[in-house]
Amino acid sequence: MWDGTSPDAKTSKTERGELQQAWASFAERSIGDFVPSSDVRGQHQWLANDLFISFQFHSNDEEHPEYELSAHAVRTANRLELAFREERERLSGFHPGGKLRVGLGALACESESCVDGLYYEAMKQAIVNAQVEGGAERLLRDSYFKELLTARSLYPVYQPIFSLKQGEVFGYEALTRLPVNNYFRGPMDLFRFAEESGGVYRLDRLARELAIDGCLRLGQGQKLFINVMAQIMEDPRFSPGRTISLLEEHHLSPHQVVFEITERSSIEDYPSVKKALQHYRSQGYRIAIDDVGAGYSSLQSIVELRPDYMKVDRSIIQNIHKDEVKEHILTTLQDVAGKIGAELIAEGIERKEELDKLLHMGIPFAQGYLLGRPAPFPA
């Protein structure tokens, strides 16, 4: 429906009524544009000022094409909104305020007898979806997110972590990447959406499995760092059982795996996470805390979780060769690491001067573009 209540709608009540009538007339003429294909039959009806268009698909036991339908609905709505604005400007000489709101509801039907009941359920879904700003776009993102998980379209890349004492690769951090698309700007955006939509557990598990699948062969003593959200470890479904099976398939052991704890949101239950980590450590896994020094929460995690590795955030490492305060902070972190039996990994090294300073300070491990960019696992 055309929503004339948006902030840019500087029209009177009478003008809004005329605008609704104009939109209704335009929508009636444009209904055919919403039909996805010529072999799909569509029906429509008006309820008050809301126009509902329904389609019945026969999927032949295949998955309902919700993703394609969502994409079609959003593209069509955007095109019709522009066409309606242009028509009103041409006929009346003013730019209509407001916005076309579109929502989508999709439900599976097992038999002909369930059509009527599902139709009204889908209508309610569409209303709720349309009332949320960007609702249809969110549904489209959700459909693409599910497609990524089902097709396992994500893929891992690996960034080397160097031992500065030995001058050789100590391990690799597995990082998640996704195909070029129009819905997520990158991995951080994807994980943020997964948290908001309740799909973060499935995403985290898939990323973990793909990281192990893509790890061709670790050298003797090398480690594989796998990012795991701390909140996932609070979930009773998080079990290392499947991870161990994958490791065995790739001739790896838990002693070669480091769970790198990332905090995209604060840890709410430290006792539960500590209990989980104690269990994983007993099986041979090691623990790293990511982004140390980037905020208070990472320091609290060090105190509570006592990691085996502390990965120092780039905000401290950047230009450390000419910043005494950063040098003092890193020295303090060295002292903390020594007291709890952890080792430091400096992240985000991009300049030789930074690396030289870290070597001089005796930092044991380093990671960054200067030493190696994320890439497929080396043959």
Angle value at C-alpha 306, between 300 and 309, nearest 5 degrees:
105
pLDDT of residue 8: 46
Residue ranges making up the domain that contains 52? 2-147
Tell me whether residue 378 is in a domain: no
Q: Within 10 Å of residue 63's Cβ, how many Cβ atoms?
A: 11
Domain match, 143 and 161 both: no
Of 147, 179, 210, the domain-final residue? 147
Of 124, 147, 170, the domain-final residue? 147
Domain match, 143 and 207 both: no
Domain match, 157 and 21 both: no
Whole-angstrom distance, CA of residue 124 vs CA of residue 305: 46
Tell me whether residue 377 is in a domain: no
- Rounded to a whole number of angstroms, the distance between the first and last alpha carbons of the chain is 56
Burial (CB count within 10 angstroms: exposed 0-12, middle 13-18, buried 19+), residue 113:
exposed
- What residues does 144 pair with on adjacent strands? none
Both tokens of 360, joined, read 């001089």
Domain match, 209 and 304 both: yes
Tell me whether residue 373 is in a domain: no
Tell me whether residue 141 is in a domain: yes
Residues 6+ apart with CB under 8 A from 289: 260, 261, 298, 301, 302, 305, 307, 309, 310, 311
Residue type, 329: I
Tell me whether residue 356 is in a domain: yes
Domain match, 113 and 193 both: no
- What residues does 160 pair with on adjacent strands? 172
Domain match, 89 and 223 both: no
Contact assessment for residue 307 and residue 285, using Cβ atoms and an 8 Å cutoff: no
Domain match, 300 and 159 both: yes
Domain match, 266 and 305 both: yes
pTM of this structure: 0.72
Domain match, 50 and 71 both: yes
Of 112, 147, 182, the domain-final residue? 147
Domain match, 97 and 236 both: no
Q: Provide the number of structural domains found in the chain.
A: 2
Tell me whether residue 304 is in a domain: yes
Tell me whether residue 376 is in a domain: no
Burial letters 245-281, b for 16+ CB under 10 A, else e: ebbeeeebebebbbbbbbbeeebeeeeebeebbeebe
Tell me whether residue 43 is in a domain: yes
Task: Return per-residue pLDDT of the chain as tens, 379 residues.
Answer: 566 554 444 556 777 777 778 878 888 888 777 776 655 556 777 777 777 777 766 655 455 456 666 667 777 777 777 888 888 888 877 777 677 777 777 776 666 655 566 777 777 777 776 766 556 667 778 878 988 999 999 999 999 999 999 999 999 999 999 999 878 999 999 999 998 888 988 999 899 999 999 998 898 899 999 998 877 776 666 665 667 888 888 888 999 999 999 866 567 788 888 888 888 899 999 999 999 988 666 788 898 999 999 999 999 999 999 999 999 999 999 999 999 999 999 999 999 999 999 999 999 999 999 999 999 999 7
Task: Read off the pLDDT of residues 97-129 as tens digits, 9 standing for 90 and up.
Answer: 677 777 777 776 666 655 566 777 777 777 776
Domain match, 118 and 200 both: no
CATH code at 225? 3.20.20.450
pLDDT of residue 22: 82
Domain match, 82 and 140 both: yes
Residue type, 196: E
